[in-house]
């Protein structure tokens, strides 16, 4: 089959157009299309939404029938139960703690608190590095793997324990200490103090609990010397008793309470300037500026 030229293709195309137009005329489609265009142009849209200003006045809340009935019952029973309400509001307790009788007696609560050591008297107050922890009389013992890893870091300890670890006031790390002869952290003996954490002889509070690394880096004191000194006091008590008013605790929590900017990792700057610790640097700066400690 030969290839058609340009003139032959145009003649064939024009012939098909004329044929299609004649067919549409015989069917009356031209007239129908023109009528539809005229009708569409003359008709105006009538379904446009009209603007209506909304009323935002306060209306009563819709309440379900269940809540309406409950409110109705409460109104009638409020007068009857007013005299029956106890003066002391009881604590909400789970069904596990309620027991068979539906509640925990005060005797059992007091006994449990006494057994767990949560409300000790002033005479039975324990040092801060020897808190009492009991978990239902379970036998406490570290696994061999944990025992081997415990002494990897002597400064702050290498094992984090949220239950038996004692939190350092500065680094906030609740770890078992890395001291080899610490019976509390190795044998989990709760009646022994942690020799890897300090205890203030004056306040016996968490403010005086410091690990070996923080005690040296932040305050320039050795753990072995502090452990031998039975009269050692934390910076809070030293300032409170007026022994050295410029010797303050430089933890971020205490500095923020004084509205002072935390020092961050300032030990490198302190040692470059010839200071033994961050506390010595901060004390010298406070003395030079003669800043009153609030």
**Euclidean distance between CA atoms 234 and 249, whole angstroms:** 8
Instruction: Provide φ and ψ at 272, rounded to 5°.
Output: -65, -30
Q: pLDDT digit string (tens) for 182-220?
A: 888 888 888 889 999 999 999 999 999 999 999 999 999
Residue 38 phi/psi, 5° resolution?
A: -70, -40
**pLDDT tens digit string along 256-283?**
998 999 988 889 999 999 999 999 999 9
Q: What is the pLDDT of residue 111?
A: 37
Could you report the per-residue pLDDT of 78-137, keeping only the tens digit for each? 555 444 444 444 444 444 444 444 333 444 333 333 333 444 444 467 888 888 877 665
The pTM for the full model equals 0.54
Q: Give the whole-angstrom CA distance, residue 177 versus residue 171.
A: 13
pLDDT-derived band at 34 (thresholds 50, 70, 90) equals: confident
Asked whether 265 and 252 are in contact (CB, 8 A), the reply is no
Query: The dihedral of CA 141, 145, 148, 154: what is its sign?
Result: negative
Report in angstroms the alpha-carbon separations of 244 from 23, 209, 213: 113, 20, 23
pLDDT at residue 23, as a whole number: 87
Of residues 121, 187, 185, 181, the one with CA closest to residue 159? 185
Distance CA(288)–CA(50), nearest Å, equals 77
CB neighbours of residue 272 within 10 Å: 8
Q: 95 or 9, which is more confident?
A: 9
The predicted structure's pLDDT at residue 197: 93
pLDDT in tens, 163-182: 888 999 999 989 899 888 88
101 or 50: whose pLDDT is higher?
50
At residue 65, does pLDDT exceed 90?
Answer: no
CA atoms within 13 A on the CB side of 278: 21
> 292 vs 142, which has greater pLDDT?
142
Each residue's pLDDT tens digit, 222-234 = 999 999 999 999 9
Q: Which residue has the tokens 């031209």?
A: 30
Supply the pLDDT for residue 22.
87
Per cent of the chain over pLDDT 90 is: 28
Question: How far are the Cα atoms of 65, 85, 92, 110 from residue 89, in angstroms, in the given order?
Answer: 30, 9, 9, 17
- The number of beta carbons lying within 10 Å of the beta carbon of residue 126 is 15
Top-confidence residue, 13 or 110: 13
Cβ atoms of 227 and 256 closer than 8 Å: no
Q: What pLDDT is recorded for position 27?
A: 82
Lowest mean pLDDT among 3-7, 201-205, 287-291: 3-7
Radius of gyration of the chain (CA): 42
């Amino acid at each position: 089959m030969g290839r058609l030229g340009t003139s032959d293709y145009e003649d064939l195309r024009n012939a098909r157009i004329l044929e299609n137009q004649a067919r549409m005329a015989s069917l009356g489609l031209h007239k129908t299309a023109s009528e539809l265009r005229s009708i569409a142009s003359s008709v105006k849209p009538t379904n446009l939404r009209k603007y209506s200003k909304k009323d935002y006045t306060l209306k009563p809340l819709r309440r379900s029938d269940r809540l309406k009935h409950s409110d109705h019952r409460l109104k009638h029973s409020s007068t009857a139960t007013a005299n029956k309400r106890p003066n002391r509001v009881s604590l909400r307790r789970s069904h596990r703690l309620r027991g068979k009788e539906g509640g925990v007696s005060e005797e059992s609560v007091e006994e449990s608190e006494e057994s767990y050591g949560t409300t000790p008297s002033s005479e039975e107050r324990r040092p801060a590095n020897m808190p009492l922890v009991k978990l239902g009389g379970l036998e406490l013992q570290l696994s061999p793997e944990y025992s081997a890893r415990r002494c990897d870091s002597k400064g702050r300890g290498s094992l984090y324990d949220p239950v038996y670890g004692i939190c350092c006031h500065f680094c906030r790390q609740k770890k078992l200490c890395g001291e080899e002869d610490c019976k509390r952290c190795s044998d989990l003996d709760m009646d022994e103090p942690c020799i890897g954490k300090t205890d203030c002889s004056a306040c016996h509070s968490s403010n005086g609990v410091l690990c070996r690394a923080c005690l040296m880096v932040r305050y320039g004191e050795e753990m072995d010397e502090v452990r031998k000194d039975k009269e050692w006091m934390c910076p809070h008590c030293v300032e409170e008793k007026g022994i050295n008013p410029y010797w303050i605790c430089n933890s971020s929590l205490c500095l923020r309470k004084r509205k002072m900017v935390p020092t961050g990792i300032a030990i490198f700057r302190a040692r470059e300037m010839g200071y033994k610790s961050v506390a010595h640097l901060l004390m010298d700066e406070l003395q030079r500026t003669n800043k009153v400690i609030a």
